[in-house]
Structure formats: C-alpha cells, structure tokens
Amino acid sequence: MIKPRALSGFPEYLPAQQLAFNRVLSLIRSTYEAHGFTPIETPSVEHRDVLTAKGADDAEIYALTRLNAGPDERDTDLALHFDLSVPLARYVAQHESQLVFPFQRSQIQKVWRGERPQAGRYREFYQADIDVIGRGSLSLLYDAVLPAVVSDALTRLNIGPFCIRLNNRQVLQGYFESLGLAPVAVPQALRILDRLEKVGIDRVRQDFTTLGVSPDTLTPFLDLVTSNLASDALLSELAGQARNALFDRGVTELHVVLSGLRDLGVPEANFQVDLSIARGLGYYTGTVYETKLLNFPGLGSICSGGRYENLVGHFHTGTFPGVGLSIGVSRFVPALLEAGVLSARTSTTAQVLVTLLQPEHQGESLRLGAELRSQGVSTEVYLEPHRLGQQLRYADRKGFRLAVMVGDTELQAGQVRVKDLQTGEESLLSRAQWALGIWQRLSNAR
C-alpha cells in the first residue's frame, strides 16, 4: 500500500478552505471584469526558449517530460510557465493583428516555480494578473488605473488595511547614474536597494560600497528612502534635487500617477510613494508597485508589477509598451484563513439540504430538490437511508442554511417542513408555494 502524501510547496485545501479560496478568485475576477479587463488563458506549457527569453532563472523552471520518454525526448523543449507575463508577451506578439489596442487583459491561472517552499511561497500557486498593452505608445494614466483596480479588489475582499507602494525606476536609475555609476552597474544597485526590507539599511550601505559608492554619498538619499514623508512632500524633496533628465522624468511621472489615483477616487490610505521599491526584474522601466497588508507585514508583498516599455520585444519587431500588476492570491489566502480573516465555515456550495425521512419518499425528495434549483436555490438531496438526526448533523457540519423535510404527515397536509439550521426554528410551508417561499427567505437573509 502506498502511503498518501502531498508534495511540499504544492498546496492542497480542505473543502471549506477551497471554497473560501474560490470566493477570493471569483471576487477578484469580477472586479477585473467590472473595470473592462478581458479574461484570457494561455497554456500551462510553453517552449523553453519562450520562457527564458527575458532572462528567467533556469533553476526555477520545471521542464516537462513523459515518464516513458525515449532518449531523444529527455532534453525536452517544453516547460511549465513560471509567471503569466512572459506568456502574455508571446500571446500579444502572436495575435497582435487580431487584438484591439490598448489591450486590457486579465488572467487568473496557476504557475509553477522551483523555489524553496516557505510560508507564503509555493512551487505551485495562483496569480491574478491585469495588464494594459499599447501598440506604439500607452498613456501614463494607465499606471494609475491598474493600482485603482487592485485597490477596488482588495477593498471588496474586506481583508483589512493595505497600502500599494509605488515608485519610478527612472528616479532610481537617474539618481545612481548621477553618482557616476555606469549604466551596466545600475541594475545591481537596484537589486541592492530592493533588498532593503529583508536585510536592513546597514547591510544596504555596506553592499553599495562594492559598487564604489561611499556611505556618506548615499546618506541624503537613503534618509529620504527611509523617511516617513507623505507622498507629496517626498516628491517635493525629489523635485528640488534635479539631478538629470532621467531623474526629473521619473519624478514628473510619479506626479501624474498620484494625480490619476486621486481622480480615480482611490483613498489616500491605500497608496504611498516609497523610494525603496525597485523591483529586481530587469524589464521594468518606469512605475513599479508592491503591496502590503498592514495587519500582516510578515507576508511581504502580495501584489506587485510595473511599467515595461517593450516586454514583447523578444517576439516581435514592433513596440508594445505596457503596465501590469499581479495579485499573489496563494501568498495571502492561507495566512488569512489561519487568522480567521477569511471565513472557512462552510464546506458546501448548496444552501439547502433536502432530507430523506422514509425510503419510499425518495422520488419526492428528488422532485423537491429539482424545484428549488429551478428557483435558483443551490440544493443538495440526501439519499442515504440514515436517521434524521444523522442527516441534520451532516447538514450542520457542512454548513447548510436550511433543511427541508417531507414525511407522511407533511405529504397528507400538502405541506413542507423547513428548519433554519442557524436558529433551530421550524416552519411549515404550502406545497404549492414552498419553493418560492424558501427563495424569498434566503434572499432576505443576504
């Protein structure tokens, strides 16, 4: 006998937890669609050269082979996608003549990444992406639209206060170039700064010395990075420095994005300019984002992304600037389930359980279930010949709202007995109008 065991880093939920997870996905999906983002789905498997086109770490990519593959198939050309951005770039390049630009796309799928499993980080996980891609050009205001959509989604999830922290890579690149760093050294400087929260300010100062930058030179900027200045005050400080054209352009773009967020009605508490946000991925060129749940700081960023000028460039000669954000659903849902922020009290999608009091009434129970479903009420019919008490315990454990009972007495009287499983109250409804009555009762309780 094989011992049942799950793979580390591949989450698996009990029914109530899975239903809670699905509700999160459903709400995010409906929010994206309410803002006009068109859902797409790309294959889980891509050609290896597609996935590595943007410099992804080969060690994190799962190759795909058959168990009985021949010697010529061992070095497979296929792999599981590790994010949804690279497949999107391939999709746009392949279908650009059939797409309407600006192309507003949403995509909620599993991805696979071969990294060390730990709290909030898995080898198999869901991402919920939105991107807007233009052809030739793309308005900077889309850099405000995307965090506004995410703010709407996180607010609707009702999972506590959050802050979308934003920055502009041009500010950082312009600053580091003004210190005399060669352009080829700037990506390393960005990676050092991006680790600030993980390693602390002293380690960041030390790491910058490896690039030939003295701590004293960095002090004024790092003081701004670690300050608690409000967004407008921080931008005013930056505007006063005027280091070079790239730096100034980044500051100007941050002003535009902040103005757009306010015009879109995003509450001030939900966003903040943060100069420590750098994003390590090399294809980001402008606005960058990271998002924290304020009551769960240990989770790290639950939503990140940014502006890219030509992510499609490896697959097409045209220019397709874009901006994207990804909510890491698998990162925060388990922690919020454990904390009780997300409810996992029910393990059924049905609201009503039709019981079976006597085997000879099985046909009637099935008809009752069909009638309820025709009224739009999700319903399960219990078909095992168990005692009523056992059926009600089953209903209680799964979290049904109502139980329906019909025996000889109810049939003779032309009635249906309904029990509210939350209050314990029972009532009799006319057999002619009972289904509508239950629908109205459930509707009023919402």
Radius of gyration of the chain (CA): 28
CATH of the domain at 439: 3.40.50.800
Q: For residue 221, give every residue at least 6 positions away whose Cβ sits within 8 Å of its Cβ, in sequence order, or none.
A: 175, 275
Cis peptide bond N-terminal to 71, omega within 30: no
Same-domain pairing of 263 and 359: no
pLDDT of residue 435: 83
pLDDT of residue 16: 96
Q: What secondary structure letter does DSSP report for 121?
A: B
Residue 115 has pLDDT above 90, yes or no: no
Residue 215 has pLDDT above 90, yes or no: no
Q: Which two tokens stand for residue 216?
A: 């004293």
pLDDT tens-digit readout, 219-246: 888 888 888 899 999 999 998 877 899 9
Task: Tell me the C-alpha distance between 314 and 283, whole Å.
Answer: 11
Q: Which two tokens stand for residue 301?
A: 């960023």
pLDDT tens-digit readout, 163-180: 999 999 999 999 988 888
Q: Is the residue at 44 inside a domain?
A: yes
Same-domain pairing of 189 and 78: yes
The mean pLDDT value for 105-116 works out to: 94
- Provide the residue count of the chain: 446
pLDDT tens-digit readout, 331-374: 999 999 999 999 998 999 999 999 999 999 999 999 999 999 99
The CA-CA-CA angle for residues 28, 30, 34, to 5°, reads: 115
Instruction: Single out the residue in 311, 339, 367 at which a domain terminates.
Output: 339
Q: Is the residue at 98 inside a domain?
A: yes
Q: Is the residue at 79 inside a domain?
A: yes
Q: For residue 292, give every residue at least 6 positions away whose Cβ sits within 8 Å of its Cβ, in sequence order, or none.
A: 162, 163, 165, 299, 300, 301, 302
Same-domain pairing of 131 and 263: yes
Q: Which domain holds residue 267?
A: 15-339
The CA-CA-CA angle for residues 427, 425, 439, to 5°, reads: 60
pLDDT of residue 179: 86
pLDDT tens-digit readout, 14-25: 999 999 999 999
Interstrand relation of 426-430 and 415-420 (parallel, antiparallel or unpaired): antiparallel
pLDDT of residue 60: 86
Same-domain pairing of 159 and 246: yes
Same-domain pairing of 405 and 274: no
Q: Is the residue at 374 inside a domain?
A: yes
Same-domain pairing of 359 and 322: no
Residue 56 has pLDDT above 80, yes or no: no
Residue 75 has pLDDT above 70, yes or no: no
Interstrand relation of 103-112 and 162-168 (parallel, antiparallel or unpaired): unpaired
Phi, psi at 135, each rounded to 5°: -115, 110
Same-domain pairing of 307 and 393: no
In single-letter form, the type of residue at position 408 comes to D
102: number of Cβ within 10 Å: 18
Same-domain pairing of 99 and 149: yes
pLDDT of residue 133: 97
pLDDT of residue 382: 96
Instruction: Single out the residue in 314, 339, 364 at which a domain terminates.
Output: 339
Same-domain pairing of 305 and 370: no
The CA-CA-CA angle for residues 140, 141, 146, to 5°, reads: 110
CB 208 within 8 A of CB 218: yes
Q: Is the residue at 208 inside a domain?
A: yes
Residue 446 has pLDDT above 70, yes or no: no
DSSP secondary structure letters along 258-308? HHHHHHTT--GGGEEE-TT---S-TT--SEEEEEEETT-GGG--SEEEEEE
Confidence of residue 287 (pLDDT cuts 50, 70, 90): very high
- Mean pLDDT, the chain, rounded, equals 91
The mean pLDDT value for 64-80 works out to: 78
Q: For residue 227, give every residue at least 6 positions away whose Cβ sits within 8 Å of its Cβ, in sequence order, or none.
A: 234
Q: Is the model more confident about 240 or about 394?
A: 394
Task: Tell me the C-alpha distance between 123 and 304, whole Å.
Answer: 18
Same-domain pairing of 25 and 58: yes
Same-domain pairing of 274 and 374: no
Residue 73 has pLDDT above 80, yes or no: no
Q: Is the residue at 8 inside a domain?
A: no
The mean pLDDT value for 183-189 works out to: 85
Task: Tell me the C-alpha distance between 439 and 376, whole Å.
Answer: 8
Task: Tell me the C-alpha distance between 167 and 131, whole Å.
Answer: 18
Same-domain pairing of 279 and 314: yes
Of the candidates 110, 115, 39, 118, the one whose C-alpha atom is nearest the C-alpha of residue 81 is 110
pLDDT of residue 310: 84
Q: What secondary structure letter does DSSP report for 58?
A: G
pLDDT of residue 247: 93
CATH of the domain at 215: 3.30.930.10
pLDDT of residue 319: 93
Instruction: Single out the residue in 339, 372, 404 at which a domain terminates.
Output: 339
Of the candidates 257, 249, 255, the one whose C-alpha atom is nearest the C-alpha of residue 174 is 249
The mean pLDDT value for 289-307 works out to: 94
Q: Is the residue at 81 inside a domain?
A: yes
Count Cα neighbours of 68 within 13 Å in the Cβ-side half-sphere. Answer: 0
Q: Is the residue at 347 inside a domain?
A: no
pLDDT tens-digit readout, 406-441: 999 999 999 999 999 999 999 999 988 888 888 888
The mean pLDDT value for 297-321 works out to: 91
pLDDT of residue 444: 76
pLDDT of residue 55: 64
Total domains present in the chain: 2
